[in-house]
Structure 1
Amino acid sequence: MLLAVKRYFKKDLIPLLADLRLAIVLLLVIAVFSILGTVIEQGQGLDFYQQNYPEEPALFGFLSWKVLLTAGLDHVYRTWWYLSLLILFGSSLTACTFTRQITALRWFSRTWNFYSKPRQFGKMALSTQISKGSIDQLTELLAGKRYKTFHKDGTMLYAHKGLSGRIGPILVHASMLIILLGAMYGAMTGFFAQEMVPSGNTFTVQNVFDAGPWAGPQIPKDWSVKVNRFWIDYSPEGRVEQFYSDLSVLDDQGDEVKRKTVWVNEPLRYRNVTMYQADWSIAGVRVKVNNSPILQFPMAAIDTGDGGKLWGTWVPTKPDMSTGVSLIAKDLQGTMVVYSEKGELLSTVRAGMSVDVNGVTLSVAELIGSTGLQIKSDPGVPIVYLGFGLLMLGVVMSYISHSQVWALQDGDQLYVGGRTNRAQVVFERELVAVLDELSAQSASEPVKDLVVS
């Protein structure tokens, strides 16, 4: 039974996995689903998908939120079928590496032999013979062309250069396997969270939208983050130019261990967790009614129906809260609109100013902003970066020509032959130049035509 299994793996399964056509098909399928994972928003809530991918009308006639969630297209990179594709593709690369690339390298090692008979040179891609040629002079000339030379019995020579051109394809395959391992490790251990935190508050990561099955140790539990301040820079036309968050990382004793101001494309990184500035909101407003202490009221987002942003709150103007006014703001520049209970426009007011409404003086101290942070951890990223670095190195190495030259001294005749795996014309010109110089040094007859077979 065990013998039959081994025979099946060796004769059927491994050749199938090493088939280039299978690798190409798997790579195309992975590319398609990776594109879907980029186009379709990942890790969002149920309401988001119901709103953006309704059943009627379904996108492309079939892609509704039910289909999307059932197929796992809301978390493509962590689905069992996507990981299975990566594993299958990795198995194909591994099989191809061992059955083709490493086998080719072993075949190359067997070519490190010496030819002892003149007729053997006739089978080479390039071959010739030189009267009165010297194998020692040829050795010097080849060394000048950066060839590594080897001798046997003083009459046989083997030389080669560009060995990295043979290793390059193996390095490419290995780097792709490293990239796949990094992607799978990141998918299984990473997480993605979002937090909307008012300025001045401290938070721990709670709102995790997407996480791998082994992400538990990556989610911060022994440290928290304080939003020291949040502010927005506006252009003279009133457009948002940039928004900033001054963040402090606190240990479990409440001591600050790191502090940084973040903005879009400038995140804070701590213990493999990265915090990006992604959004903003208005959390509340601080006001005084006549001579009362400063009161803080939360502000809620108002659905405008056109994608615009408005926030509003209700402020009582009587102690029994029987009457009040509504405050509406659209940004953190401080200007708010005051409406009556009947929806009538009463006035506008800015932070630091006051207005008389309903027989009282309403003073606005400040608007409180909230920072929207995206928090993610992907431990597989360093592995993926290492893989891409090796991939680029392997591709460059693969373009290096691996050239080999053999020579045999038989009396006063010197037989020379060689071959290369690419850049055939360049190699031929190089070998002809070496042989012409050798012929000149030995004052022999001109080199016979180089035979190209």
Structure 2
Amino acid sequence: MTISDSPQTTENLSSLKQAWRQLIKTVADLRLAIVLLLAIAVFSISGTVIEQGESIPFYQENYPEDPALFGFLTWKVILILGLNHVYTTWWFLSILVLFGTSLTACTLTRQFPALKAARKWKFYQKPRQFQKLALSTQLNVDNLASVNETLQQKGYKTFQENQSIYARKGIIGRIGPIVVHAAMLIILGGAIWGALTGFLAQAMVPGGSEFKVNNIIEAGPLSQPQIPQNWGIRVNRFWIDYTPDGTIDQFYSDLSVINNDGEELKHKKIYVNEPLRYGGVTFYQTDWGIAAVQAQVNNSPIFQLPMAPLNTNGNGRIWGTWIPTKTDLSEGVSLLAKDLQGTMMVYDQQGDLYSAVRPGMILDINGVKLKIHQLIGSTGLQIKADPGIPFVYAGFGLLMMGVIMSYVSHSQIWVLQEDERCYLGGKTNRSQVTFERELLGIIDSLETTKS
């Protein structure tokens, strides 16, 4: 006796097989799949409600420890659990993998066997077999050829063996669930692939400037090949269209994709919901700001000063800067602007409003002539690469097709000719009333033909 043939080894192999079958049965359990699906839905909702990819000060300000949101949700909880980047956390990806495993196990252990069983020819050889069918009857038909022809006219595929007929149609309805599961696996795979290889970045770029993607907010462990290295973006111009009442109608960015030598590779004007796509990277128009102001004192060269956003405690957006009026920086004025329409407010050193000014106007202040030439706007871009999106879209398309296929009824009819009696019965997996009507129509057609 060899070791492999020993009773102990055989018993161990049997135990392993039994444990493996039990594991597959547990993983394929519908209840587990429902729990995992609910967990995915809950955490996806949390990723929608809780802002993703923001800075720590943002969460500290909006989710303080006292008072905690809902009594427990604080910025520390959000950071510890990774709720600030839900879709790339190890536990969310693990849930997706486990759900995909459950779908795969269910497909292999239930859907494929059901399809295989549906494709088999099942002939009834005894009249008593028709008693277990909810719909069955006896006909005075002495020729199976007419029965076979009638079933085929109704769209059934028929198989005959001696005096017995098996007919079926709608087997695509058995394929539908398999397609649905395959589609969901493709969607899950696309989501996981996107989380591992994609990245998210932001940039606030003044008009006329060039930049490369480097302000990465969130990136997967395999995202480095997706980040552009041999090309960048030039913001040719940024502007805003305003409505007659002064509110923003739309803001635009004229962008050029340029290589490392400055040569233009692609050119496009973008605005909200109309992004620029190049090299698998998408540039969305999401924000705007005032980057700088160009001014001139007396006959000095035109100089440019940066403008910074000021804290208004939620009462609108204002940008400001300080413009020196003396070379030793001992005197100057404050300039405030709330938009790019051109009207700016000038305050003296005492903080009193001195005048309102528009581009091109000259002010006499502090013994000098101050000319404001123009405001320089900056475009706020969200930059995103997600290689999993094509798989997700393909999966959703396949999912819709699979759902439609699943609604097709799989109907089966058996016929047995014995002496002068013809037994006929059938069943379906859905649309029972419709199937009953169809079966009654077949019976009426056969009786009419007989008479």
Aligned: 1:404 with 2:412? yes
Counterpart residue type for residue 8 of structure 1: A
The Cα of 1:285 is off from its aligned counterpart by 0.6
* Offset of residue 162 of structure 1: 0.8
Give the length in aligned residue pairs: 440
CA–CA distance in structure 2, aligned partners of residues 219 and 307 of structure 1: 37
Superposition RMSD in Å: 1.5
Counterpart residue number, 2:101:
91
SS at match of 1:75: helix
Is 2:274 the counterpart of 1:256?
no
Q: Quick one: distance in 1 between partners of 2:131 and 2:32?
A: 39
State the partner residue of 1:39.
Answer: 49
1:307 Cα deviation after fit = 4.0
Do structure 1's residue 4 and structure 2's residue 31 form an aligned pair?
Answer: no
Counterpart residue number, 1:332? 340
When normalised by structure 1's length, the TM-score is 0.94
Structure-1 separation of matches of 2:212 and 2:124: 73
Whole-angstrom distance in 2 between the partners of 1:75 and 1:179: 19
For residues 65 and 246 of structure 1, the distance between their equivalents in structure 2, rounded to whole angstroms, comes to 38
Aligned partners of 1:133 and 1:439 also within 8 Å: no
Distance 1:3 1:212, change over 3 A: farther
Amino acid of the residue matched to residue 345 of structure 1?
A: L
Between 189-198 and 297-306, the greater mean CA deviation after superposition: 297-306
1:418 aligns with 2:426: yes
SS for the counterpart of 1:74 is helix
Q: What are the Cα deviations for residues 83-126 of structure 1, in whole angstroms up to 9, with x where unaligned?
A: 1111111111112112221221222233x132233333333332
The correspondence of residues 38-117 of structure 1 with structure 2, limited to 5 A, is 38-110=48-120, 112-117=121-126
The answer as to whether partners of 1:131 and 1:412 remain within 8 angstroms in 2 is yes
8 Å CA contact 1:403, 1:421 repeated in 2: yes
Segment drifting more, 387-396 vs 37-46: 387-396
Amino acid at match of 1:399: Y
Q: Please name the residue that 1:379 is paired with.
A: 387
SS at 2:229's partner residue?
coil
Whole-angstrom distance in 1 between the partners of 2:89 and 2:83: 8
Structure 2 counterpart of 1:292, from 289, 300, 306: 300
Matches within 5 A, 1:153-164: 153=162, 155-164=163-172
Q: TM-score, normalised by structure 2?
A: 0.94
> What is residue 123 of structure 1 aligned with on the other side?
132
Q: Could you tell me whether the CA contact under 8 Å between 1:134 and 1:442 is conserved in 2? A: no
Which letter does structure 2 place at the counterpart of 1:50? Q
- The answer to whether the 8 A contact 1:201-1:228 is kept is yes
Percentage identity across paired residues of the two chains: 61
Contact persistence 2:118–2:171 (CA under 8 A):
no
Could you tell me whether the CA contact under 8 Å between 2:173 and 2:409 is conserved in 1? yes
Give the alignment partner of residue 175 of structure 1, picking from 160, 169, 183.
Answer: 183
- After superposition, residues 316-327 of structure 1 pair within 5 angstroms as 316-327=324-335
1:451: which partner in 2? none
Secondary structure class of the residue paired with 1:241: strand
- Distance in 1 (CA, whole Å) between partners of 2:322 and 2:291 is 14
